[in-house]
Structure 1
Amino acid sequence: MTEMDAGPEFVWDDQVAVRSVHFHDPDAPAATIVTPSVFVAVQDGQGRFLLVQRRDSGSWEFPGGRMDVGETAIEAAVRETAEESGMRVRITGLVGLFSDPAFVIQPVAGEIRQPFVVCFQGVAEWGSPRPDEIETTDAGWFEPAQVEAMTLEPGACRWIHHAIAGSSEPHLE
């Protein structure tokens, strides 16, 4: 199965389903809301990427999440990275905008979301990777070849692959 025809992934937290992720799944429910989200492709001086492991699925992704009311996208990106990985970052650029309507997140309760993702580039200012033990169970620096072999969060594969490719132009969809 490729990332483009993945069915739902049911995510568990202590044996209780918390959400299902649908990526190009013809049986996905229709989204009821678009949710602004931010993720950060943080690189260190050796070209490695910072990734966090999600508690609910065990999959890996860049640190990030939903924006809060009253904050800018950059503020949300810095906050989410610090919360999930223990790293303070400075935003340096844009990997891309990702708004695929066939990427749907269905929580057990609440509105079915279509994420609108802004993926930034960033550099570490201080800190050492560490999980928050709430949303993330691991965090670390990984070589691009290592990242390609990891189990990545559905949907996140796209912005991770674009960041690794290192295009000088942001991806726009």
Structure 2
Amino acid sequence: MARTEHFHDPHAPKPNSIVVAVTTFVLDGQDRVLLIQRTDNGLWALPGGAQDVGESIAQTVVRETREETGIDVEVTGMVGIYTDPNHVIAYSDGEVRQQFSICFRARYLAGQPTESDESSRVEWIEQHALDELNIHPSMRLRIDHGYANLPQPYIG
């Protein structure tokens, strides 16, 4: 299913849903961040996705990261909560979702970067190389906050 990101776009469609979703900020031993290139829009992003009924939010982080990247992680904290009502995601099935994403900090446990149905590429990316990638501004904010290691989670 294709998706289109609208960010502070006055012509964006009106949202018709909010879904609890997560993203995972995880670094390897060389301070490289784990990113995927999404198959639904081609953008680079932190791994993540929607919470399933019957799982805790930490279980969602672990499951989504493993599914999209092949990497096993352990949740260690929170980077922030991202709920900008002017960021909506329109899906090809008619759903228009208002952003609601909790970005978690996690520790790498095991695994090798492995592509999935949702990720055409999975790579550990050095911070200085981020500007070369096509990353949505909202996702870049989460990555920058993760690297900043703020004393308190971002709420916005």
| Fold similarity call, TM over 0.5 | yes
Q: Percent identity?
A: 39
Counterpart position of 2:15? 31
Q: Which moved more, 1:33-42 or 1:160-169?
A: 160-169
Larger relative contact order (C-alpha < 8 A, sep ≥ 6)? 2
Of 113, 117, 135 in structure 1, the residue corresponding to residue 118 of structure 2 is 135
What does residue range 131-170 of structure 1 map to in structure 2 within 5 Å? 131-132=115-116, 134-170=117-153
Of 38, 59, 74 in structure 2, the residue corresponding to residue 54 of structure 1 is 38
Which stretches of structure 1, 4 residues or longer, exceed 2 Å deviation after superposition?
none
What does residue range 9-158 of structure 1 map to in structure 2 within 5 Å? 18-132=2-116, 134-158=117-141
- Cα distance in 2 for partners of 1:78, 1:94 equals 14
Normalised by the length of structure 2, the TM-score is 0.94
Count of residues in correspondence between the two structures: 156
Structure 2: gaps of 5 or more residues: none
- Following superposition, the deviation at residue 131 of structure 1 comes to 1.0
- Following superposition, the deviation at residue 154 of structure 1 comes to 4.8
Q: Which moved more, 1:155-164 or 1:101-110?
A: 155-164
- Cα distance in 2 for partners of 1:145, 1:167 equals 19
- Cα distance in 2 for partners of 1:143, 1:20 equals 27
Normalised by the length of structure 1, the TM-score is 0.85
8 Å contact from structure 1 (residues 21, 154) kept in 2: no
